[in-house]
Amino acid sequence: MGKIFKDDASVLVNDDPIGNEFHLCECGYEECRPTKPYEFIPIDYWVIHYCISGEGFFQILDKQNHIHPGDIFMIPPHTRNKYYPDAKNPWSYRWIGLRGTNVKKVLARCGLSPEHYVIHHKVDPQLESLFEKVYDHFQKDHELMALGSAYYLLDYLSNNVRNARLDHLSPGELYFHSVLNYIHKNYFNNITVSDIAAAANIDRTYVFKLFQKYMDMSPSQYLQHYRLDKACVLLRKSSLSITDIGYAVGFQHSPYFTKLFTQYMGVTPSEYRKEFMQFGGDDNFSSP
């Protein structure tokens, strides 16, 4: 087999983010030679690899995965990890590195989370092409095009690769996926844990067990946090009153919403909105 890339390896880095929510900080590729296993120093950003050819091994939290062509594996921030090529059939792969407050949520929609580091997938020319486009735009200093291509890549993972992965989930994972899907589509209604269990056709106790296993929190806590995250978006991006925002994300009583929001964010909804609006004002308008 001939060389896949022009060089054995290349890495591109951008340490000047446009914003703090989602930043494409790195991308690259490597055509590996057989090496001895060694542990990598934990990094402070997320990295998603796509294996193009060959084989290798990825170990994280003492769990080893055998990686084949088409597989995707993720390294989260501040996590010990080890990965290396198969000695007889060394792999080649592309990767992107991401920083930002929204990266974890975006990757979760792609089926990548602290509970699921690997997606076993088929060889996918479309996915390889998307990784390549990110690199090409990055290399040409087309920062916004590279960022757009990264979003396109992740959308492809979410709507194509992730759906294929659901066929290989355990019964518990499938139930949990169903529960999350119900919450995400109905969080603004006055839903309860019993409603969530009924929608998934499982017992309330089992719902609690699933959330403890996959989220280390109760379903009520997850629903509450999800609603408050949605409230943050509305406070930043809408002119709705605080009372209306509370109702819009599923809270029936405004004082209770304000109390929970203050506990969750460390500031009141009014203070949160004021900080954001003040930042926008200083950035875009001159003082009178």
- In tens, the pLDDT along 90-108 reads 999 999 999 999 999 899 8
Terminal CA-CA length for the chain: 68
The number of C-alpha atoms within 13 Å of 157 and in the hemisphere containing its C-beta is 27
Looking at residue 3, what is its pLDDT?
63
Q: Which two tokens stand for residue 242?
A: 């605080």
Q: Which two tokens stand for residue 168?
A: 């290989």
Nearest partner of 131 among 106, 107, 164, 156, judged by Cα: 156
pLDDT of residue 288: 33
In this predicted structure, what is the pLDDT of residue 285? 35
Residues of the chain with pLDDT under 50: 1, 279-288
Report residue 49 as tokens.
């690899």
Q: What is the pLDDT of residue 136?
A: 95
Pairing verdict, β 81-85 and 56-60: antiparallel
Provide the pLDDT for residue 40.
Answer: 76
Name, in order, each residue with C-beta under 8 angstroms of 47's C-beta and a sequence gap of 6 or more.
26, 74, 75, 95, 96, 97, 98
CA proximity to 85, closest of 33, 40, 11 = 33
Q: What is the pLDDT of residue 4?
A: 65
In this prediction the pTM is: 0.60
**pLDDT tens-digit map of 161-191:** 765 555 556 788 878 888 988 998 899 999 9
User: Domains in the chain and their CATH numbers?
Assistant: 9-168 (2.60.120.280), 171-280 (1.10.10.60)
In one-letter notation, the amino acid at residue 161 is V
